[in-house]
Chains A and B, each alone.
Chain A
Amino acid sequence: MQDYEIVDLYWARDEGAITETRTKYGAYCRKIAMNIVSNDEDSEECLSDTYLSAWNSMPTERPDMLAPYLAAIVRNHALTLYRKGHSMKRGAGQTALALDELFEIAGSDSTEDMVDRSLLAGHINGFLAGMAPKDRIVFVRRYFYVDSLADIADELDMSESAVKSLLFRLRAKLKDYLNLEGYEL
């Protein structure tokens, strides 16, 4: 079923929308949740919250692409759960690692001083727009999807060291980019 058809089901308040969403994007959303919370119980909780959020947000929202829409929702739920639990179970280190890598660009306190997150997001999107597709995919996989370096290397047929160095350079470029946009990092 096409995305617009599933969205139409949401707008029609047809509970089949949830079934179709689970069928088409269940595995995708579960992977995002697992990357962040790293246990089945919490990831199932994230999925349930995601379907509920999608049901509550549509109508009013009518996303063109359902996958990134759901990805953002499940990611937010997973991050909330992660921060609430500060779990140190298997894989949770990966989440901390990925967030810390990006956090080091912002600095320890200036993160809290960033007033307009949407403005920052816009700048980051501008930064990504100027990147090569492969670089952008690696960046997004690491910092949005919180994939491990090994998974990214395996997915994109690169060596882990190549992924690591690429991310190192991209973070440096992002830092310079944000400095030029007026952020003091």
Chain B
Amino acid sequence: MDALSGLDPKYIDEAACELHSIPAAAKKVHRFRVNRGLIIGMPIAAAVLLTVMVALPVLIRTGGHSSTTAPASDSAAYEAGMSDEAYDMESAAETSEPEAPAEYYEAETSESPAVSDEPAYQESADAAKTEAASEDTMAEAVNTAASAAEETEPAAMYDNGILRIDTELAPAADIAYTEYSISGIDENGSEMIYSEGVLGDIVTERDPLTLDISDLDLPAGTYVLTIDGHDIEFTI
């Protein structure tokens, strides 16, 4: 079949890229793609940087924790007039595990408890509490970062008019006749339906489920694709 032999000359000429500069529509798409890439990429880069800036100091602080608490205990023990044995133990604690304060406490209790020793114990206990709190903070920060990473894992990926859906979310029924809708919030803050119909109109691949919505020419923003009652959010 070569019915295209009778193609209208103006369409042949329009597509003659060798003779003309790149069409204005393509240039605009190129510029728009570059700008859109920056709009999408910069917030993501900022979020990653922020996560690193929060988690890294916590990790560093945890790694040098034993050395930060020991000197305080060490000076307190000296001021309280501890025995040499306890003092030696405390000096060793500068590079030992966090159990050092407990050992110090045991050594302290073996001596005659003096009123002047109590501030040293109290400070050691406070140091232990601070350490525990720091560990909790670090764990919380790590959990937050992990959950944030999970939350940002997209269920649908949009790229240049093509939308790829996480296979697990794809409808099990015959997708050709499965109804869909794409909605979003317009500039006035109102919910707007940008497209609706059956998936057969826009599907290009079934596994993974790939939809071509380039016709909609959607502006940057967050949209909801509803398939079979399931909402799938995607961002342009």
Contact = CB atoms under 8 A, between A and B. Distances in A.
Contacts of A75: 5
B42 interface: no
Contacts of B25: 132-134
A138 B202 CA distance: 18
A155 interface: yes
Contact of A145 (B15, B162, B212): B15
Interface of A: 27-28, 31, 63-65, 67-69, 71-72, 75-76, 79, 99, 102-103, 106, 111, 114, 117-118, 120-122, 124-125, 128-129, 132-134, 136-137, 140-141, 143-145, 155-159, 161-162, 164-166, 168-169
B15 A136 contact: yes
Contacts of B160: 158-159, 162
B40 to A, nearest CB: 16
Contact of A140 (B5, B11, B19, B27): B11
B230 interface: no
Interface in B1-50: 1-19, 22-23, 25-27, 29-30, 33
5 contacts: A103-B1, A117-B3, A125-B8, A136-B15, A140-B15
A65 B33 CA distance: 33
A47 B202 CA distance: 41
Interface of B: 1-19, 22-23, 25-27, 29-30, 33, 159-162, 202, 204-205, 210, 212, 214-215
Contact of A71 (B12, B27, B202): B12
Nearest to B6: A121
B17 A141 contact: yes
A108 to B, nearest CB: 11
Given A124-B3, A157-B22, A165-B204, A68 B13 contact: yes
A28 B15 CA distance: 12
Contact of A162 (B7, B13, B214, B215): B214
Contacts of A69: 9
A129 B8 CA distance: 10
A128 B162 contact: no
Contacts, number: 138
A162 B162 contact: yes
A156 B5 contact: no
Contacts of B22: 155-157
B18 A168 contact: no
Contacts of A103: 1
Per DSSP, chain A at the interface is helix
A101 B149 CA distance: 42
A68 B17 contact: no
Contact of B212 (A71, A124, A166): A166
Contacts of A136: 11, 14-15
Contacts of A159: 159-160, 162
Nearest to A70: B12
A110 to B, nearest CB: 9
Given A165-B162, A165-B212, A168-B212, A68 B16 contact: yes
Nearest to A126: B8
B19 A134 contact: no
Contacts of A121: 3-7
B15 A157 contact: no
B236 to A, nearest CB: 14
A140 B12 contact: yes
Given A68-B10, A156-B17, A165-B204, 9 more contacts: A28-B19, A64-B9, A65-B10, A124-B4, A125-B8, A132-B215, A140-B15, A144-B12, A165-B212
